[in-house]
Structure 1
Amino acid sequence: MKYYWIVLTALALTASAAQAQTTPAATPPAATKAPLSASQRKAAEELLAATNSEKNLTESIDRMLAVQIEQNPGMKAVEPEMRAYLNKYMSWNAMKEDMVQLYAREFSEKELKELAKFYQTSIGRKTIEKMPQLMAASMEIGQRRMQEHLPELQQAIAEKMKTQAPTDVK
């Protein structure tokens, strides 16, 4: 059971981090993306720099791990493995190209430049500074709600399983 919770937590961490930084799964894989123009790439990179994406991603990973360990102190024993895994697959170095492609695909060059300009204003800077805390707090709210209402889901699943005919395994 402990192993199950460790795996579940690791999956939740990676899914949360990925969801915070990506669009829905319908997005085409990297291999099918059209090449970006140099100016489109530069605009996307400038927006990502203006939004402190690298720093925010690192801080988000740190906060997610801290929250998980706070909620389940037994996770402290596997923190190095979880951190190594997240750093390998969710770090800025691992995700930068995908992020450039994502933003360049979702916004025109002009929009990217306008967004970068906004994030250089005082309210834009404040938004960037607050976003990691807001994301962490949002995740905590979601996790708390799931935990509070988990018995309802478990009951619904148990009732469904009672009424469902067993399937033959061949």
Structure 2
Amino acid sequence: MKIKLNLIILTAIIFLFAGNLKAQTNTPDFKPSHLKAAEQYLIATGVNTQFGDVLNKMVGASSSQIPEANRASYLKVMSAFMAKYFTWDVLKDRLDKIYAAEFTEDELKQLAAFYNTPLGKKASTKTPVLLQKGMLLGQQAVEDHRPELEQMMKDAFQADAAPAAKE
């Protein structure tokens, strides 16, 4: 049930993201200086150097849901896939646009200036650790109440099936 529930949740997340991607077809044009400011901000935060570590941790964490007999193959395939499609060099230009859409050029320059200070560098190094701890906290909250969540899902799925049974 645990693997089936995780697959259902993962599938739901994929469909949510896929729907959002289709809806975001209008990409605004940004001045080159605005995109450069976004890139400088990302570099100041260390995203360019932390990119691989974050993805490796995500793959490693997700592998715990894979049966032991398939885990090594899963890690090999996911690592190869991530190295091909989820690197700083591959996604940098798209990341620049994401940040340029959320911040003005001046704001990005101010953020980059902050992240180049000693406090900004400390914040940058602590952020991945804090995010990981926050994710673990969320996972633990779900795990602590997993039976309740599973019952809620089971009830919801049964309710979904009930109208179909009447037809």
TM-score range, shorter chain: 0.7 to 0.9
Which residue does the alignment assign to 2:54?
60
Using the size of structure 1 for normalisation, the TM-score is 0.74
RMSD of the TM alignment (CA)? 3.4
Using the size of structure 2 for normalisation, the TM-score is 0.75
CA 1:159–1:55 in structure 2 vs 1: closer, same or farther (change >3 Å)? same
Which residue does the alignment assign to 1:36?
30
Secondary structure of 1:167's aligned partner: helix
Residues 23-75 of structure 1 show CA distances to partners (whole Å, capped at 9, x for unaligned) of xx48963x521221121111111111111112222111122233344676723
Which residue does the alignment assign to 2:80?
84
Gaps of at least 5 residues in structure 1 are 20-24
Report deviation, 1:163. Answer: 5.0
Which residue does the alignment assign to 1:146?
142
Report deviation, 1:98. Answer: 1.4
Question: Counterparts in 2 of 1:4-153, with a 5 A limit?
Answer: 8=7, 11=10, 25=20, 29=24, 31-69=25-63, 74=68, 75-153=71-149
Q: Which whole-Å CA distance do the structure 2 matches of 1:48 and 1:42 have between them?
A: 10
Gaps of at least 5 residues in structure 2 are none
Number of aligned residue pairs: 158
Report deviation, 1:142. Answer: 1.7
Equivalent pairs: percent with the same residue? 31
CA 1:158–1:32 in structure 2 vs 1: closer, same or farther (change >3 Å)? closer
Q: Which whole-Å CA distance do the structure 2 matches of 1:160 and 1:71 have between them?
A: 23
